[in-house]
Amino acid sequence: MLVALAIRDVVLIERLDLVFGPGLSVLTGETGAGKSILLDSLGLALGVRAESGLVRAGQSQASVTAAFQPPPAHPTYALLLEHGLEAEEEIVLRRVVQADGRSRAFVNDQPVGVSLLRRLGALLVEVQGQHDQVGLADPASHAGLLDAFGGFEADRAAVALAHRDWRAAERALEAARAAIAEAQRDEDWLRHAVGELGTLAPEEGEEEALAERRQGLQQGEKRAEAVAGALSELTPRDRRGGGNPAAALRNAARALERMPPPNDSIQPALILLGTAQDALAEAETLLARLVQEAAPDPRALESTEERLFALRAAARKHAVAVTSLPELLERLKERLSALDAGSGQVVALEAAARAGRAAYVAAAGRLTERRAAAGASLDAALSAELVPLKLDRARVTVALTPRPEAAWGPDGQDRVEFLVSTNPGQTPGPLARIASGGELSRLMLALKVVLARGSPVPTLVFDEVDSGIGGATAAAVGERLAAVAARVQVLVVTHSPQVAARGAQHYQVAKSVTGERAETSVTALLPAARREEIARMLAGERVTDAARAAADELLAALT
């Protein structure tokens, strides 16, 4: 329910803080006191269109803050979570309007779009006004209200579930058909690609392994070339041994050995030449063995590169990474399998879709039958409520119109709409088009009395629902407002003392003029002041003792 309303610099209101309780709250005051400004201010907080004319003269901006405490599990909490906002126990809607007409919206001090504010406001407050009818006047809400009136929540849930399953089966069928159609268009290419990739048989991680092996083979060739080059330097370049270091060492040793005595001085040189010959022979043997061991396989590098390049060429052809080739092959195989097995799959899905549609039609048909019976009961209940509201010539009927299959939804196959005729012989039409402002407000009140438990909105606002009536009719209006207020919070702007006397809380709206500036104020009335206000409403401008006595009598009769 609405627990508090704070208004700053809106038209004639400079600063106003109101606290509301449960039950029926009445707002009274003389014509022109500013009661409509209160409703306009509340509308701002609920997301209605902002206008620069609402900003108090001389001020840069106006603001309205409305605090609500919805019941547990109310739809507003789910909506807040859907938009990433914390669902606190109290929900505070705030609107700030600049003097140029621009506005900002906040929910629990978090900036939001006005559209979200409007959606939250529609879940929290329903306004029935003389000129701006919302809520029950919207046909989109009528099916849910009729189902709640008839107690068809379980049937409605069954229809929604059947609709979901049917649509899921339809989507699966459409997806299968689309996949098969796509596969058929590409069948030749698919078979060629699967055959080509299947022959290639790419493996996960193969590219990295081949690249490492190729690098190793390339480095092995370079090592073998280096060893072979070193060995060639130790082998003769001609038949006479020219250019052979080993032969050169032997020749040098032989030349020294032919030296005539005394030759003791050359012995160290001969020893070093012998050592060099041995080391050179050992190096030559080692290099020869290395050449033999490191001789590369001429096909190994070639086959490795062929495999690596083939994988990379296939990846370029299919515009994927080499690492994705195995996955691509599996996907293409699946598409071929879907094509090969598609007919059987489609047949099964078609059967499932037909079964889903049949289940939905059966569930929706049962709901339609029950709605028709509930509509007749609702007609009778509303007729009984309209007589004391001075609408005995009016008739509200529930129209059930079959919708085309394309418009079937989770709420059934019917379009449900409450239609009204206010005079005999008049063709029933939509609520908002047929009735006048006062008639429409009373029609809404009658509907609310009958359908109160069907709406999740915890706060109802009626603007001059008693317009143009008095006496017993006004008393009947007050009685029904009190009945609705026993279930939900009700705020009513009224000129009727019979309605005002029913209020659990009574607020007086007054306008005062200081100098050239007018200002609207709102006062929560205590018992004595309330008696005086109801006496004024009974007597007019001059309050008499007789009017006060009548006010006492009226208040006493309702306590």
Based on the fold, state whether residues 67 and 17 are members of the same structural domain: yes
Within a domain: 137: no
Per-position b or e across 8-42, b if 16+ CB within 10 A of its CB: bbbbbbeebebebebbbbbbbbeeebbbbbbbbbb
Based on the fold, state whether residues 60 and 34 are members of the same structural domain: yes
Residue 31 has pLDDT above 70, yes or no: yes
Based on the fold, state whether residues 94 and 32 are members of the same structural domain: yes
Within a domain: 510: yes
Q: Are 149 and 448 in contact (CB under 8 A)?
A: no
Cis (ω within 30 of 0) for the bond into 70? no
d(CA 343, CA 176): 10
d(CA 511, CA 516): 13
pLDDT score, position 173: 92
- Between 437-451 and 471-485, two packed helices, what is the crossing angle to 10 degrees? 40
Q: Average the pLDDT over 102-122 and give the result.
A: 93
Which range, of 32-41, 237-246, 466-475, 534-543, averages the lowest pLDDT? Answer: 237-246
Residue 187 has pLDDT above 80, yes or no: no
Within a domain: 97: yes
Pairwise pLDDT comparison (227 vs 141), residue with the higher score: 141
Which range, of 224-233, 320-329, 505-514, averages the lowest pLDDT? Answer: 224-233
Q: Given the DSSP bridges, would you call strands 24-28 and 489-493 parallel, antiparallel or unpaired? A: parallel
| Residue 522 exposed, middle or buried by CB count within 10 Å (0-12, 13-18, 19+) | buried
What 8-state DSSP symbol labels residue 409? B
pTM comes to: 0.60
What is the 3 state secondary structure string of 377-407? HHHHHHHHHHCCCCCCCCEEEEEEEECCHHH
Residues β-bridged to residue 521: 510
Q: Are 33 and 523 in contact (CB under 8 A)?
A: no
Within a domain: 168: no
Based on the fold, state whether residues 26 and 110 are members of the same structural domain: yes
Based on the fold, state whether residues 104 and 57 are members of the same structural domain: yes
Tell me: the pLDDT tens digits for 394-438? Answer: 888 889 999 999 999 999 999 999 888 877 878 888 876 765 566
Range of the domain at 48: 1-129+464-524
- CATH code for position 514: 3.40.50.300
Tell me: the pLDDT tens digits for 135-168? Answer: 566 788 888 888 888 889 899 999 999 999 999 9
Residues β-bridged to residue 514: 517
Residue 2 has pLDDT above 60, yes or no: yes
**What is the tally of structural domains in the chain?**
2
d(CA 485, CA 22): 8
Residues 72, 74, 79, 84: what is their CA dihedral angle, to the nearest 10 degrees? -10
Within a domain: 427: no
Report CA 355 to chain centroid distance, whole Å: 31
Q: Given the DSSP bridges, would you call strands 489-493 and 459-463 parallel, antiparallel or unpaired? A: parallel
Pairwise pLDDT comparison (179 vs 527), residue with the higher score: 527
SS3 state of residue 167: helix
Residue showing tokens 């991680």:
205
Based on the fold, state whether residues 60 and 112 are members of the same structural domain: yes
Q: Average the pLDDT over 288-293 and give the result.
A: 69
Output the CA angle 326-329-331, nearest 5 degrees: 110
SS3 state of residue 274: helix
Pairwise pLDDT comparison (484 vs 559), residue with the higher score: 484
Within a domain: 102: yes
Based on the fold, state whether residues 50 and 121 are members of the same structural domain: yes
pLDDT score, position 105: 94
pLDDT, the chain, mean: 84
Based on the fold, state whether residues 484 and 546 are members of the same structural domain: no
Q: Average the pLDDT over 186-196 and give the result.
A: 83
What is the 3 state secondary structure string of 175-206? HHHHHHHHHHHCHHHHHHHHHHHHHHCCCCCH
Based on the fold, state whether residues 17 and 1 are members of the same structural domain: yes
Sign of CA pseudo-dihedral 136, 141, 147, 151: negative
* 132: confidence class by pLDDT, cuts 50, 70, 90: very low
Which range, of 258-267, 401-410, 501-510, averages the lowest pLDDT? Answer: 258-267
Q: Are 224 and 291 in contact (CB under 8 A)?
A: yes
- Residues contacting residue 2 through CB under 8 Å, at least 6 positions apart: 20, 42, 66, 67, 68, 124, 125, 459, 489, 491
Based on the fold, state whether residues 501 and 478 are members of the same structural domain: yes
Within a domain: 45: yes
Within a domain: 138: no
E strand segments, 204-359: none
Which range, of 33-47, 116-130, 337-351, 403-417, averages the lowest pLDDT? Answer: 337-351
Residue 446 has pLDDT above 50, yes or no: yes
pLDDT score, position 362: 96
d(CA 39, CA 368): 39
